[in-house]
Amino acid sequence: MLSYFSVNNYKNFPDTLTMRFDDIGKYHFNSECITQGHVTKMLVYGCNGTGKTNLGYALKNIQGIFNGQKEAGARLPNADSSSDLITFSYGFRFEDTLVEYEYVLDGDQNIVSEDFSLNGDCICRVSQGKILQMDKERLGIPTLNLEMYEAGSVDAADRIPLIRWIAVNSSLPSASPILQVKKFAEGIKYIKISDRVLPYDSLNEKSAQRIGKLDAQKLQEFLSLMGFDCELGAHEEPDGKMQLYFEYATPIKFYQTASSGVRSLTELFWCLKDITENTSLLYLDEFDAYLHFEMSELLFGYMKENYPDIQIVFTTHNTELFSNKLSRPDAIQILSRNHRMTPLYKATERELREGHNLEKMYRSGEFQKYE
């Protein structure tokens, strides 16, 4: 489970931004938001431009450490910074062990340094391809020849993270902290629904035809749970392909007539088909885009009920979700304009209780100092 994450000098985060999942208050309601002393259903609020999307990309950067893929797009270091170095820090709790992994990338996303710690003890440290500290026994690699790594790490562009090199070149025990971190990293999923909802004319053939007869029924059930009752069916087109329809007296093509909100839910339904037992963390950016507030509440409740063991981060602008009815003050975080994350119960001098109307307090400026 992820205990904390921080990033420094990344995109619009010039300093260190830290989000903690182990900062738990003394609340006894909506306990399904908390698992083993960690927030597993976190709502993140922030004004436009505070970096909610960038936070999601930064959080899943660790996947590139293990799969060798670099983040596509714009420059990663903060544009106002004189440094090209970006620092990523992760803290994981696996049973009674705190595993901490920190690495630094340069402006070309080449690995610069790595630190790997167990319960506060650094057992692996590497810089510029040179191993400075290594406890091979605690890493589970007592016989691995690390000279081979150093020999191949002379040039920065050819250098790969030592953690990945060890995972590839050794037979690690299943309880290995490196394998545990690797498994968690590979299980991170990022979804931004608003980027996936396209006008009908822009939908490609695959998008319009991907739902077959069986999925049509499942989609109908999912939409019904979200408060949208309809009857769906899959009809065969003259070219032999299946197309999704609303089942009226005269069937109507689903994608041609569905609202943005219904298409948003449909995209999420499709994305959730990829959620498996191997999914460790799901970052749902603008998860309720285009949705009425009641649908947003139903969707939030659905995710809590159906994915209890997955850490989920929801970013939203919907203040209706700012509620003790759905969440709790230690599971709601504010991402401020000055790039700080603060749990709600630490964003006020008041002692927040279950009876407080959090949305009313938010709109009245109670937490404005931390926005």
CB 131 within 8 A of CB 114: no
The pLDDT of residue 88 is 98
The pLDDT of residue 97 is 95
Amino acid at 53: T
The residue among 362, 318, 319 whose CA lies nearest residue 344 is: 362
Residue 104 to residues 8, 71, 82, 126, 133, Cα–Cα distance (Å) = 9, 14, 16, 11, 16
The DSSP call for residue 69 is P
The residue among 44, 47, 62, 48 whose CA lies nearest residue 6 is: 62
Listed by start position, the domains of the chain span 2-24+54-191, 198-275
Query: Helices (H), strands (E): how many in the chain?
Result: 12, 18
The residue among 54, 65, 127 whose CA lies nearest residue 90 is: 65
The pLDDT of residue 121 is 96
Hey, which bits of 231-349 come out as E strands?
A: 232-236, 242-246, 252-253, 281-285, 311-316, 332-335, 341-343
CA-based torsion, 82, 106, 144, 122: positive or negative: positive
The pLDDT of residue 368 is 86
Kindly report the pTM of this predicted structure. 0.93
Cα–Cα dist 259/272, whole Å:
20
The pLDDT of residue 204 is 46
Question: Could you write out the DSSP letters of every residue in 151-172?
Answer: HT-SSGGG---HHHHHHHHS--
Residues of the chain with pLDDT under 50: 202, 204
What is the separation of C-alpha 216 from the centre of its chain, rounded to a whole number of angstroms?
A: 28
